Amino acid sequence: MAKPDHFLITCEHGGNRIPPGYRHFFTGCEALLQTHRGFDPGALVLAKELAKALAAPLFISTVSRLLIDLNRSVGHPGLYSEATRLAPLNVRRGILESYYLPYRDKVEAEIAAAVAHGGRVIHIASHSFTPELDGAIRDADVGLLYDPSRPGERDLCRRWRAQIQSLAPELKVRRNYPYAGKSDGLTAYLRRRFPADIYLGIELEMNQKHVFTGGRHWRALRGRVIDALRRAAAS
């Protein structure tokens, strides 16, 4: 008998807020906070709509990734940005203990609790990507990132992609693009904590060109992506 699915939605880069006690580290970096380096435009609204549509727990952070990147492992060179990397050790430790560890611990505890009650957890992490990076145009509208060695993730992303293309054939949906699904991140960490048959970790990446278009187009796109996930999960 198939295990029941429990959805969990997270958004690690939902905003570009810098807490007052750390703003002096960002003198001269104010403009950077408004770019894709500071946060993932559109990811927060999509995460909230996913959670509502799926009746799923939602975990979000609106603290800028330039303070500390919740989607990087401790020890990763990108954990702290150029604004905080050279801060005193006690300051960096305070940031870690105040923002990073509580967030990740809550997500992991929620998954553990759901697993303890039986069933499988489908974790969707909402992100977005800049349309152009270092002069290269990103050739996708939607990216689905997963670990190809985990059958549940691979199969769900295959069905999700097919459903998106059925509902919105004009969209280009690519798997493990513009990043590799196995690369360092929260889902990669959680895969090491939970077996493949009870934890599926998928990063949803939306091209920010749709966010910047805004309006009816962006709302409709979010709705199609969500409807496609519901259909894929039910099939």
E runs forming strands in the chain: 5-11, 58-60, 120-129, 132-133, 136-137, 142-145, 173-175, 199-207
Q: Mark out the alpha helices in 30-139 (DSSP H runs).
A: 30-33, 43-54, 89-95, 101-116
Model pTM score: 0.97
Q: Render pLDDT for 170-225 as a digit per residue (tens, 0 to 9).
A: 999 999 999 999 999 999 999 999 999 999 999 999 999 999 999 999 999 999 99
pLDDT of residue 21: 94
What does the chain come to in residues? 235
Reported confidence tier of residue 125, pLDDT bands at 50, 70, 90: very high
The residue extents of the domains of the chain are 5-234
Q: Which of 85, 179, 192 is nearest to 138 (CA)?
A: 179
Residue 4: C-alpha distances to residues 7, 113, 125, 230 (Å): 10, 14, 20, 14
Q: Render pLDDT for 51-105 as a digit per residue (tens, 0 to 9).
A: 999 999 999 999 999 999 999 999 999 999 999 999 999 999 999 999 999 999 9
Residue 183: C-alpha distances to residues 120, 127, 178, 192 (Å): 23, 15, 11, 13
User: Which residues, including other chains, have CB under 8 Å from residue 17's CB and lie 6 or more apart?
Assistant: 62, 63, 64
Cα 145 to the chain's mean position, in Å?
10
- Considering the four listed CATH numbers 3.40.630.40, 2.30.30.140, 3.40.190.10, 3.10.580.10, the one that applies to the domain covering 5-234 is 3.40.630.40
pLDDT of residue 3: 67
Average pLDDT, rounded, for the chain? 96
Q: Which of 7-16, 21-30, 42-51, 95-104 has the lowest mean pLDDT?
A: 21-30
pLDDT of residue 171: 96
